[in-house]
Structure 1
Amino acid sequence: MKKLKLTALTLTAALALTACGSTAASTPAADSTAADAATSEAAGGDLLSEIQSKGTITIAMEGTWAPWTYHDENDDLVGYDVEVGTKIAEKLGVEPQFIEGEWDGLLAGLDAGRYDIMVNGVDITPERSEKYDFSIPYAYNRTAVITTKDNDSINTMEDLNGKTTANTISSTYAELAEQYGATVTGVDDLNQTFELLLSGRIDATLNAEVTFYDYTKEHPDANVKIAVLTDDANQVAIPLRKGEETATLRAAIDQAIEELRADGTLKELSEKYFGTDISTNE
């Protein structure tokens, strides 16, 4: 899938056209039962009906976090979340429109209504649940504390106290590291995180277990290891703005996820990108 670059001017113009009543023709997907089920509920004024009227759903993601969302050798935007977002859009009977940005900017854009949803490996947390409504989980993953192979000082989460880590600020992993007493350095993407770790400028980093395996698959000689692995898996879901405006959209997304899990699509995509099925908590 080709990377879609939208400037602020382009996005502003698009919003202006929508405000003036210009809509794009929708492209309903075949056998889109999630869309069919939601259409009868989608009265005027809610986000789902607006999305189906213009024929596109705006999906925010980083584009720098393999294998969730990243660019391949042809600079095409690919990854587990890209395909999940595309499949959900198909279920809703619309086309996906991906917009990339840094983590904090994506959340701010979701708050401001610049994006309809965010599909970017977002964990459900109590703090986020106070601010956003979440879909049902579409993936599960455990948290890994990653260090260099010669670092024997971190063997439990409690050992993070007084240590230095790096993650995107306000991410689940940064918050968890701080809860255990670590000092977190903010970074823009995963590559910067590993650069800091391998250069000895931080003691550890927290990330998804599957992200570690993907990194070591691409860098088999990297001087890294999993020092600690949490027992409980995080629930990965899609955040939406709170309110009645998003209620029918959330219900339609939930149904789409259920259908994608039931027909084996999520399992297939999981094994394609992670080498294991992360679509269930079993």
Structure 2
Amino acid sequence: MSRRITALVLTAVAALALTACSSGAPADPAASGEGDDFGLVTAGTLTVATEGTYRPFTFHDESGELVGFDVEIAEAVADRLGLEVVFQETQWDAIFTGLDAGRFDVIANQVSINPEREEKYLFSEPYTVSPGVIVVPEDDDSITSFADLEGKTTAQSLTSNWYELAQDSGADIEAVEGWAQAVALLQQGRVDATINDSLTFLDYEKSEGPTGLKIAAETDDPAYNAFAFTRDKSALVEAVDKALAELRDEGVLAEISEKYFGADVTQ
């Protein structure tokens, strides 16, 4: 009698398992092996680190919702991969430490690819290309190259790479705290130019324009910004690259870029 009861129980368990396998419910990435391939922090979810305080890339709108260029790119990639997306807001100083500790799968925060980072991390294909630019008043045609900065005065933050570029170009430097102060001095006619990345200028033009300013010249070696991963995430990087290529071909990346910058900065 006990053997018959056991057999009935086993039959019922097998039937339940068969029903679960044949149901129309979405497959669990972990169960399908996909989660194992990607090595996700949480199966079926792309956990993304971002600052949440870096407008227009990752910030909170008037309603408090996390939005921004990098946020929308990450959401589009996760959707293409069939994954949920969860953002973990993290200060920049701690963001790579959190990635190393396995708290999230990827950083989406305008991370520039450079040799030092490539020694330790994997990167997706770039989704942002941003040269350095000289910004001048729109009626000034005296500066058309970096060589023309010789003897001119530029407004620069002393801790930025742009300060070094201005100095190497022979410019006199007016020290400022950041972009807002540099632009104010430029519009007041107190300096001749300022150097920054093109994204900063395009965002300013989009949000404040017309500003009476223009790009006079740009660097030959733009910064390439991408998603950053630990070196054990090669399968995830490959999948993200495929998703980015599809989104680029379909014009989705350009559409998101136009929304935030009024130009396509993804090529």
Q: Compute the TM-score of the two structures, normalised by the length of structure 1.
A: 0.64
Answer yes or no: is the 8 Å Cα contact 2:206–2:260 preserved in 1: no
The counterpart of 2:255, out of the listed 264, 268, 279, is 268
Q: Which residue of 2 aligns with 1:156?
A: 146
Answer yes or no: is the 8 Å Cα contact 1:51–1:94 preserved in 2: no
Letter paired with 1:96: V
| Structure 2 residue 157 is the aligned partner of structure 1 residue 166 | yes
Distance (whole Å) between structure 2 residues aligned to residue 71 and residue 225 of structure 1: 28
Distance (whole Å) between structure 1 residues aligned to residue 165 and residue 221 of structure 2: 17
| 1:120 Cα offset (Å) | 1.7
Letter paired with 1:166: S
The 1:204–1:63 alpha-carbon spacing in structure 2 relative to 1, beyond 3 Å, is farther
Distance (whole Å) between structure 1 residues aligned to residue 71 and residue 167 of structure 2: 34
Distance (whole Å) between structure 2 residues aligned to residue 248 and residue 99 of structure 1: 22
Distance (whole Å) between structure 2 residues aligned to residue 109 and residue 75 of structure 1: 24
Answer yes or no: is the 8 Å Cα contact 1:66–1:79 preserved in 2: yes
Q: Which residue of 1 aligns with 2:184?
A: 198
Unaligned runs of 5+ residues in structure 1 are: 1-26, 30-34
Q: How many residues align?
A: 231
| Structure 2 residue 237 is the aligned partner of structure 1 residue 212 | no
1:85-111 Cα offsets, whole Å, 9 max, x none, are: 111122333222222343333233223
Letter paired with 1:81: D
The 1:51–1:186 alpha-carbon spacing in structure 2 relative to 1, beyond 3 Å, is farther
- Structure 1 stretches of at least 4 aligned residues deviating more than 4 Å after TM superposition: 39-42, 146-155, 157-164, 179-187, 199-203, 221-225
The counterpart of 1:258, out of the listed 242, 245, 255, is 245
| Structure 2 residue 108 is the aligned partner of structure 1 residue 122 | no
Answer yes or no: is the 8 Å Cα contact 1:144–1:206 preserved in 2: yes
| Structure 2 residue 96 is the aligned partner of structure 1 residue 107 | yes
Q: Which residue of 2 aligns with 1:134?
A: 123
Unaligned runs of 5+ residues in structure 2 are: 1-24
1:16-35 Cα offsets, whole Å, 9 max, x none, are: xxxxxxxxxxx969xxxxx8
Q: Which residue of 1 aligns with 2:47?
A: 58
Q: Which residue of 2 aligns with 1:12?
A: none
